[in-house]
Structure 1
Amino acid sequence: MARDVAVILAAAGKSTRFRDPFSKKVFTLCSGKPVWQHSAQLFADHPRVAQIIMAIAPEDKETVQEKFAGNLTMLGVELVLGGNERFESIRNALQRVKPNLSLVAIHDAARPCLTRASIDDVLAVADRKKAAILAAPIRGTVKRCKSDDSIEQTVERAGLWQAQTPQVFSLEILQKSYARVKGTPTDDSQVVEEAGYSVYCVEGPESNIKITTKGDLKIAESFLKVPAKTKDNPFF
């Protein structure tokens, strides 16, 4: 199997909602390892991954290098400094992607419970379609509210998906899309969509949560504690 995939881990956020004055969420321990390391490990172990780049905030550079130098080296993770907005961080990392690689997978470092099966699924669709993301169909009732939190409308949920990561694109499409980025896109799929390309959704597991609060950290730990290699294990 060819090693033809670059991975960009987004870890340059401010972690405002995590509410920890001493540690950002991606550097906090979760089941014995920092959150980012769980995310990086799955890609480091994948036979198609040739390069892993993690975008971090400039103010975190010294801390990351002091605390995690050994882990970064072991996993083959390169560091790049991010920008004020997420898309700026991804654009900085994109400039470091090796030109001979076919696909770029962009993943939130704060999603430590990604499954190997889901990586394989989204890569397979990206191989065929050139642009694919993990996402979850919205199954609950959706409300649009006014500024005072009163309900304005019940939104038809048919066809609505909540985006996850990784989001995977051909290197060519991603480079062309980022060359013409406008505004402040909230994810990479939006950058590619607005450049005129079709992006395809691949259903991701409910376990692929993004840690935002300390409560989410406890949920992630419960997923990560499932014993390995059993038929009931979503990570098998």
Structure 2
Amino acid sequence: MSDTPKPRFAVILVAAGRSERFADANYKKPFAPLCDRAVWLHSAERFMERDDVCQVVVVIAEEDREDFQRRFGPNLAFMSVEVCVGGANRGDSVRAGLAKLTDGATHVAVHDAARPCVADKEIDAVFAAASRDGAAILAARVADTIKRAKAPADGGKPSIEETVPRDGLWAAQTPQVFCRKLLERAHEAAGEGETDDAQLIERLGEPVTLVEGSPMNLKITKRMDLKLAELILKARPPKDPAGGFANPFAGDDMWR
């Protein structure tokens, strides 16, 4: 029997972005309603009940702190989720999450709070790969033909500069999962404006394993994505979280 301790995962849910493309004056995308719960709650639920997860931290923007507590305070009262305030960019927000981690976490999973449709089997696979290799991310093979655009002249429209061969191209998803010490070292060495966690690991010269994910692990970017996410979630077998979730939108007239 191996004496190697089992990995313990802390999960950082990044929800501190500005949601500029979401085009909704009432909600940022992680906090928008999806199947009667906020998008970020669906994302958190994917990890909360796992035996190998010891901590879930959601990182929000300072400007959202008051509204977040008002809307989701009842949920936080019985959820094992911690909240912290992020920074000016994603890298700063991940570092804020890292500062909140307990000593028991050996690995860290960084997940977009706006990716509510990641499947349990995908989490299983990327957690296993990170446990084995030290760093792994979910990603999907690029299926579409990719065109690189020329920079348009003033007032002009973009045009094709070249067609990029899609062989070997993958679209990065989350969770991105790392040995904790490796991720902390990568962030300590990060330069100004460097925000992608896997890229920070690459800069150290360390390999990052690609684990094939599904196109259904979509990131909510525009309002139309909510409808697609709803269809994906409704097609899955129901999963009732222990104790249930309060509906944070019950008092909002626009969602009645």
Q: Does residue 47 in structure 1 map to residue 51 in structure 2?
A: yes
Say if 1:40 and 1:75, in contact at 8 Å, map to a contact too. no
2:248 corresponds in structure 1 to none
Correspondence for 2:189 among 180, 184, 187: 180
Q: 1:1-236 counterparts in 2 under 5 A?
A: 4-148=8-152, 149-228=158-237
Instruction: Report what 1:234 is aligned to.
Output: none
How far did residue 98 of structure 1 move?
1.4
Sequence identity (%) = 45
Aligned partner of 2:114: which letter?
A
Counterpart-to-counterpart distance in 2, 1:32 and 1:26: 13
In the TM superposition, residue 79 of structure 1 has moved relative to its aligned partner by 0.6
TM-score by length of 2: 0.86
TM, length-normalised to structure 1: 0.94
CA RMSD of aligned residues (A): 1.4
Aligned residues: 229
Query: Partners of 2:137 and 2:33 in 1: how far apart?
Result: 27
Q: Contact 1:6 / 1:97 at 8 angstroms: preserved in 2?
A: yes
The CA deviation string for residues 32-68 of structure 1, in whole angstroms up to 9 with x for no partner, is: 1000000001100111110000110000011111110
Residues 8-34 of structure 1: per-residue CA shift (max 9 Å, x gap): 000000011000111111111001100
How many Å separate the matches in 2 of 1:138 and 1:99?
38
Structure 1 contact 41–75 (Cα < 8 Å) conserved: no
Residue 185 of structure 1 aligns with an amino acid whose one-letter code is: E
Q: Helix, strand or coil: the match of 2:220?
A: coil
Q: Is the 8 A contact 1:131 1:199 kept in 2?
A: yes
Q: After TM superposition, which residue ranges in structure 1, 4 or more long, deviate above 2 angstroms?
A: 72-75
8 Å CA contact retained: 1:9, 1:109: yes
Counterpart CA distance in 1 for 2:77 and 2:177 is: 24
Q: 8 Å contact 2:7–2:107 — kept in the other structure?
A: no
Larger Rg: 1 or 2?
A: 2
Partner amino acid for 1:38? Answer: H
CA contact (8 A) 1:3 1:50 kept: no
- Measure, in 1, the Cα distance between the counterparts of 2:120 and 2:78: 20
CA deviations over 1:198-230 (Å, ceiling 9, x no partner): 11110011110000000111110110111417x
